[in-house]
Amino acid sequence: MAMRPMEPMGSAATGAPEIFVGGSHGAVRRAVVIGNGCAGAENQCLGLVRALGLADRLMLYRAIRPTGGINKWLHFLPISLHKLVDQVLKQMFSSDRFAALFQGKWLGQYTVCNDQLFGLSSVLEADTKRIVTMVNDTFEKEGLALVVACGRDTISYASLIRCLTPDNVFVIQIQHPRSRLDKFDLVVTPRHDFYALTARGRWEFPQLLWRWISLREPPGPNVVLTVGALHQADSSALRIAASDWHDELANSPKPLVVVNIGGPTGNCNYDVGLAKQLISSLHDVLKTCGSVRISFSRRTPHKVSDLILKEFSSHPKVYIWDGEGPNPHLGHLAWADAFIITADSISMLSEACSTGKPVYVVGTEHCRRKFSDFHNTLHERGAVRPFTGLEDCRHRCLETKEI
């Protein structure tokens, strides 16, 4: 079965929306990105802005939650209420003794955590009034502002900005906001977010629970559905990455197989058993492939990464990125001949599938509900195969052996 790249959300052939071409105030020539500090969410915003040609005309804001002490237990609160509670606690317990407990002696510095942020040197804390004032004051000169946000903590900022200055902004919320969709000009979300509306989804969710399911209505005219996650790994980015990583990766023994390991989630829960399964399968594949490069994500449990490190750290064909130095992720996307990826990471799978190279998935049996629906869609489109350890690199990269 041949691998096919995932189809892009749109192309030049379909024509750009009217707000991105022609006119003066009606055309978008600048962007405001509101992130939440999570690389996966911000990467989607930046990928969309990049695809629209506004990568060099953006301002990045971040919805920042209070950190330290008791604040780590308050993330279930809406961000505005969390900040209010934090202010009250700081006023009530202003002594050094209580500050260490409730606020933390050292506040984390909010720096750009994604290496691919188009050279941005600073990130501003999201402030709705400040953003609205900036947009309104510069409207005559700069025209309409595109506001792109992603993540639960950004929803209130994006919707309020549209409410306060609807004529001067075009607001796009990435991922379903679990609230009224008419608060945004456009919502870009994966198809599997509407899994509860499918026949299987309705069967899995008892009727008693339907009142608590936020996605009870089908997507409306202002909703764009995608297969996976948006990202920045387009052909231009990969050409640059191929050049940047040429000296390190060009001479890697072929075929080069890249292994990306994520971490368990609510919809794809697994333990060290999956790591042991992966280790066994990799040993079989290593007999015939040229080299393997392994990367972990921030969500990878230590017990999983420690097991992988113990098994392969001294293997002559295996390189394991230790998290130090430049992140080789884009270089891996550019130079790999095939990918092996754990089933929990929709972002990593979306990026790898868009390259058109063979993508193998491990752990799909641990997925449920919308994650299972996502993997079924990839499989039906011929974008992925399960990784079994029976693959042979000698004839065609990771071609399955006959049994």
Which amino acid appears at position 169 of this protein? V
* pLDDT score of 384 more than 70: yes
Give pLDDT, residue 180: 84
Residue 214, burial from CB neighbour count under 10 angstroms (0-12, 13-18, 19+): exposed
CATH architecture of 25-65+119-226: 3-Layer(aba) Sandwich (3.40)
Tell me how crowded residue 12 is: count the other CB atoms within 10 A of its CB: 6
pTM of the model: 0.78
* pLDDT score of 96 more than 90: no
Burial 47-72 (b: 16+ CB within 10 A, else e): bbbbbbebbeebbbbbbbbbebbebe
Q: Are 317 and 283 in contact (CB under 8 A)?
A: no
CATH architecture of 235-386: 3-Layer(aba) Sandwich (3.40)
Name the strand (E) or helix (H) holding 172: strand 169-174
3-state secondary structure of 291: strand
Q: How far apart are CA 1 and CA 312, in angstroms?
A: 30
pLDDT bin (cut points 50, 70, 90) of residue 110 is very low
Name the strand (E) or helix (H) holding 318: strand 318-320
Residue 335, burial from CB neighbour count under 10 angstroms (0-12, 13-18, 19+): buried
Task: Considering only residues 154 and 117, tell me which one the structure prediction assigns the higher pLDDT.
Answer: 154
Ramachandran bin of 90, using left for φ above 0, alpha for ψ from -120 to 50, beta for the remaining angles: alpha
* pLDDT score of 357 more than 90: yes
Residue in 389, 381, 326 with CA at minimum distance from that of residue 356: 381
Residues of each domain in the chain carrying CATH 3.40.50.2000: 235-386
